[in-house]
Amino acid sequence: MAETTPNSRPLPGIVPAALAGVIAAGAALAGTELLAGLVTGAPSVVLEIGALLISLQPPGAKQIVVDLFGTADKVVLEIAVVLGALGLAGGIGVVSRRRPGLGRLGLAGIGILGLFASLRDPLVEPILALLSGVAGVALATWLLGTLLRLATPSGTPEMPDWSRRRFIGSSVGLAGVAVAGAGVGRLLLNRRGETAPVPTGIPAADQLVSPLGADASLDVPGISDIVTSNETFYRIDTSLFTPRLDAETWQLTVDGMVDHPFTLGYADLLAMPQHEQYVTIACVSNEVGGNLVGNALWKGVRLQELLDRAGVQAGATQVVGRSYDGWTAGFPTAWLAEPGREALVALAMNGEPLPAPHGFPARLIVPGLYGYVSATKWLTQIELTTLEAFDGYWVPLGWAKEAPILTQSRIDVPRGGATLAAGQIAVAGVAWAPDRGVAAVEVQIDDRPWAPAVISAPISDATWVQWLYRWDAPAGNHIIRVRATDGDGVVQTDAQTEPAPDGSRGRHTIGLTVR
């Protein structure tokens, strides 16, 4: 017997009603994805809600939040947002059986959340966000009503139940269209960045770095390249998508505790003297042996030149970089005082305009500091303040206020756990201590004494080196460790620490079997 309302009208079953909610909301979300792909400035509501969740910064979550910023985990977050929305919509479908008004309110609630999340994104056109929100809610409401009607039993059980078949057919069809629409939308969204016009030809630096000599790298299969390509360079940021800023309208403001605040456009920066240098940057959340580190040739305007032009006031002790979305990183003005240490507002990476994932049109690169306190991408403001007056994004979340890159070394080859033939084995990798420089690298096999590795000629103190130890390996199970000594003569510590709060310590260690 079909469930009925007090006035004996038959009701759709719970499962079909939930399905109707899921499909109505799914189709509406897919519609907004498609719009986002087709029209620049329209929000991907799923991404925007994900970004909102990230910005809520669950208290106490330190490593967890940082871990979230690995690319794969961002996909996990997106899937969670979609599943969460669909789960909610399923509930709304069930509620709508008896209380359609409440159901409509629920759908409107999801729409308002999406709109609120979208309006936080400076790259989103508010009018398009509104359009997408209203259209999405209207579509979901209409679909839910229609599907619920189809799911309602006809009340004449002896007849073949045509409405039930129509409900199933419509549901399957709609789900298919939604998945296809969302897929096309996402495809277009991802493709748009690749075709976005990027100004070419950043002027040559006033002093070109000399071409790397043959001794700047070691020829070992499997070792990290001495210069990391833009394609393989690690990426870490709080952005769920790749921000595509428009160089034509982009502006950089230098203000705060300065005598002459000013604002420049991209062309203004291109017209200034350009400086280029290799700098190795690293992420504080890199584990011992991890790959959140890379070395590139950066080119751009000297930060010092911009600061001189602005006239930094005597009391200013902190430089804060702010990106278009409000993300911030700050470091002491005193860090810039070291002779030979050149911080850049970088415009180019390895001879190309900054790729969008790495901060186009401009980012900060400060030799010797972890990225989260210095390397602001999609830079729009440089503010001079005091260390006491402001904390960058990650500092209130439990990460250190000041964070020089710790001395580290990594074994690239052989891989841990490998089984190799006895005889000559190349043990090799990279080591970094920007910008103290790497003076030496040593390797320890089992409990034997530390033995010196050969290192590549350092490009500069701000870059990593490659190292190589030729090992005549006897059969057995072995442990290999590596340690670096920095330019000040300090040996990489054996103490082990988690990445939080100021970077992981310890010596990369692998085990392998020789036969």
Ligand X SMILES: Nc1nc2c(c(=O)[nH]1)N[C@H]1C(S)=C(S)[C@@H](COP(=O)(O)O)O[C@H]1N2
Q: Which residues of this protein are in contact with ligand X, per CB under 6 A?
A: 233-238, 283, 323, 327, 358, 371-372, 375-378
The residue (of 283 and 354) whose beta carbon lies closer to Mo ion is 283
Stretch that binds Mo ion, among 181-189, 372-380, 422-430, 442-450 (CB under 5 A): 372-380
Q: 396 preceded by cis ω (within 30°)?
A: no
Query: Is residue 372 near Mo ion by the rule CB under 5 A?
Result: yes
Among Mo ion, ligand X, none, the one that 233 touches (CB under a kind-dependent 5 to 8 A) is ligand X
Cβ atoms 397, 377 nearer than 8 A: no
Give the DSSP letter of residue 393: T
Stretch that binds Mo ion, among 231-239, 305-313, 361-369, 397-405 (CB under 5 A): 231-239
- Give bridge partners of residue 321 from the DSSP assignment: 329, 382
Least Å from the CB of residue 319 to ligand X: 14
The residue (of 128 and 196) whose beta carbon lies closer to ligand X is 196
- State the Cα–Cα distance between residues 47 and 329, nearest whole angstrom: 23
Which residue's Cβ lies closest to ligand X? Answer: 371
The residue (of 290 and 355) whose beta carbon lies closer to Mo ion is 290
- State the Cα–Cα distance between residues 437 and 459, nearest whole angstrom: 9
Least Å from the CB of residue 487 to ligand X: 22
463, burial (CB in 10 Å: exposed 0-12, middle 13-18, buried 19+)? buried
Q: Which residues contact 312 (CB under 8 A, 6 or more apart)?
A: 257, 258, 333, 384
* CB half-sphere exposure, 274, CA atoms < 13 A: 25
The residue (of 166 and 235) whose beta carbon lies closer to ligand X is 235
Cβ atoms 117, 45 nearer than 8 A: yes
- State the Cα–Cα distance between residues 66 and 62, nearest whole angstrom: 6
The residue (of 280 and 456) whose beta carbon lies closer to ligand X is 280
Least Å from the CB of residue 200 to ligand X: 20
Which residue's Cβ lies closest to Mo ion? Answer: 283
Least Å from the CB of residue 371 to Mo ion: 4
Least Å from the CB of residue 62 to ligand X: 13
Helix pair angle (45-55, 100-119), 10° resolution: 70
Least Å from the CB of residue 234 to ligand X: 5
Among Mo ion, ligand X, none, the one that 46 touches (CB under a kind-dependent 5 to 8 A) is none
Least Å from the CB of residue 279 to ligand X: 11
Stretch that binds Mo ion, among 365-373, 397-405, 438-446, 464-472 (CB under 5 A): 365-373
Query: How many other C-beta atoms can be found within 10 angstroms of the C-beta atom of residue 457?
Result: 14
Least Å from the CB of residue 326 to Mo ion: 17
The residue (of 369 and 428) whose beta carbon lies closer to ligand X is 369
Least Å from the CB of residue 214 to ligand X: 28
| End-to-end Cα distance, the chain | 73
- DSSP SS3 for 480: strand
- State the Cα–Cα distance between residues 409 and 25, nearest whole angstrom: 50
Least Å from the CB of residue 399 to Mo ion: 9
Among Mo ion, ligand X, none, the one that 358 touches (CB under a kind-dependent 5 to 8 A) is ligand X
Stretch that binds Mo ion, among 49-57, 99-107, 222-230, 277-285 (CB under 5 A): 277-285
The residue (of 266 and 372) whose beta carbon lies closer to Mo ion is 372
- DSSP SS3 for 498: coil
Least Å from the CB of residue 422 to ligand X: 39
Among Mo ion, ligand X, none, the one that 192 touches (CB under a kind-dependent 5 to 8 A) is none
Q: Rule CB under 5 A: choose which of 12, 90, 136, 371 binds Mo ion.
A: 371
The residue (of 372 and 378) whose beta carbon lies closer to Mo ion is 372
Tokens linked to 444: 């320890």
- State the Cα–Cα distance between residues 427 and 482, nearest whole angstrom: 10
The residue (of 247 and 406) whose beta carbon lies closer to Mo ion is 406
Cβ atoms 164, 25 nearer than 8 A: no
- State the Cα–Cα distance between residues 412 and 232, nearest whole angstrom: 15
Stretch that binds Mo ion, among 53-61, 176-184, 258-266, 371-379 (CB under 5 A): 371-379
Least Å from the CB of residue 65 to ligand X: 11
The residue (of 282 and 344) whose beta carbon lies closer to Mo ion is 282
Among Mo ion, ligand X, none, the one that 275 touches (CB under a kind-dependent 5 to 8 A) is none
Among Mo ion, ligand X, none, the one that 375 touches (CB under a kind-dependent 5 to 8 A) is ligand X
Touching Mo ion, residues 233-262 (CB under 5 A):
236
Tokens linked to 493: 């510590």
- State the Cα–Cα distance between residues 453 and 468, nearest whole angstrom: 5
Cβ atoms 465, 454 nearer than 8 A: no
Among Mo ion, ligand X, none, the one that 307 touches (CB under a kind-dependent 5 to 8 A) is none
Query: Is residue 283 near Mo ion by the rule CB under 5 A?
Result: yes
The residue (of 181 and 503) whose beta carbon lies closer to Mo ion is 503
- State the Cα–Cα distance between residues 512 and 476, nearest whole angstrom: 9
Cβ atoms 132, 45 nearer than 8 A: yes
DSSP 316-355: --EEEEEETTS-EEEEEGGGGGSTT---EEEEEETTEE--
Residues contributing to the site for Mo ion (CB under 5 A) = 236, 283, 371-372
